[in-house]
Amino acid sequence: MEKQEYSKIVEKNSPDSKCAVNCVKAFLVGGAICAAGQGLTDLYKALGLSEKNAGTLCSLSLIFIGVLLTALHIYDKIAKHAGAGTLVPITGFSNAMCSPAMEFKSEGFIMGLGAKLFVIAGPVIVYGIISAVAYGTVLFVVSLFCTKI
């Protein structure tokens, strides 16, 4: 079979892309998660917490909500429709850490839950640290030649 024939068959049998609808859904759900985070921060500040403590408690709340919704198999249902909108950093990261851990919990706390908890988080942390070191090195070298950085 020629490459062009195969491409025609794939195009004919592939579902139509709903890119515009998917983008709108992702925007609305991601925006709703961010708005909920802002609402939590405002609530915590209204309860008398400092801005720093309110932000910290908001982050913890969003992580807890992300893990809870993942454990109840609700987060995946939301992600099925919202796509990238559920990848908002805090809730998406808590979901990404919780999902593999839940899948392998039958293997025990150490080899299952503990080991699989970092399947996603490990590479993110490693590349985050490498990026931070590279950025810091570049900034340091540039600051040697420029006085106003």
Q: Where are the domains of the chain?
A: 3-116
Average pLDDT over residues 18-42: 93
pTM given for the model: 0.67
Residue among 97, 37, 38 at smallest CA distance from 62: 37
pLDDT confidence tier of residue 110, bands split at 50, 70 and 90: low
pLDDT the model gives residue 74 = 93
Tell me the average pLDDT of the chain: 85
Any idea which of 38-47, 86-95, 104-113 has the lowest mean pLDDT? 104-113
Distance CA 82, CA 51 (A): 30
59: its two tokens = 């982050």
Average pLDDT over residues 90-111: 75
